[in-house]
Structure 1
Amino acid sequence: MAVLTDEQVDAALPGLDGWERSDGALRRSIEFPAFLDGIDAVRRVGEHAEQEDHHPDIDIRWRTVTFVIVTHSEGGITDKDVAMAGDINRIVG
């Protein structure tokens, strides 16, 4: 699996609503209406991540959940990360 070029990541970002490139990874923060709504979203994303064997870093701060995706074993953003970002968008709505 190859690390995507900056140009490839830039081309993918318009199709990934809410995501940005930050510190060599894809990042999205979402504010939920209530704390438990964020926890439920994390649970649903976690179940999907287990199925895919590709796990985002997840930070929970009250109602704000931040997802960070990078393929650590490859040292950068790969197609697998872009796909997971799209999956997370579909999961959290």
Structure 2
Amino acid sequence: MSALPISESEAARSVPGPWQVADGVLVADYTTSNMVKGGEFVARIIDAAEELNHHPDIDLRYSTVHLALLTHSVGALTELDVELAQAISEIATELGLG
């Protein structure tokens, strides 16, 4: 995947809900049944991020996982962000979160 900037509208069109673009960042909130399940979700996200060598900002608050994606080295959204968001969405689906 490319680290070239993409438009906010292109990023928003490329990923399924609950992803949205807010202030130039691709964000999503997922709710799990409890903190343990949230931690398991975060662990799976970390594995996917390591495979892509592209790392999200993650905030785990009890059962809610807030994610923010932006290619910091470019200062914009890129296809890397879209690819990771798609991978996270697949993980969420596998875990019954979305």
Q: TM-score, normalised by structure 1?
A: 0.90
Q: 1:7 to 1:34 in 2, by over 3 A?
A: closer
Shift of 1:9: 2.5
Question: Cα gap change, 1:34/1:52 in structure 2, threshold over 3 Å: closer, same or farther?
Answer: same
Deviation above 6 Å: which 4+ runs of structure 1? none
Q: Judging changes above 3 Å, is the alpha-carbon distance between structure 1 residues 71 and 19 closer, same or farther for their aligned structure 2 residues?
A: same
The aligned counterpart of 1:6 is 8
Mapping for residues 15-34 of structure 1, pairs under 5 Å = 15-34=15-34
Identity %: 31
* Cα distance between partner residues in 2 of 1:28 and 1:57: 11
1:39-84 per-residue CA deviation (whole Å, 9 max, x = no partner) reads: 0000011011111100010001111001111100011110110111
- In structure 1, C-alpha distance between the alignment counterparts of 2:55 and 2:21, rounded to whole Å: 17
What is the deviation of 1:85?
0.4
Match of 2:46?
46
Cα distance in 1 for partners of 2:64, 2:8 equals 28
Change (3 A) 1:30 1:62: same
2:8/2:77 contact within 8 Å kept: no
**5+ residue gaps, structure 2:** 94-98
SS of the residue corresponding to residue 45 of structure 1 reads: helix
Q: CA RMSD in A?
A: 1.2
Aligned length: 91
TM-score, normalised relative to structure 2: 0.85
1:92: which partner in 2? 92
Letter in 1 for 2:6: L
Structure 1 residue runs of 5 or longer lacking an equivalent are none
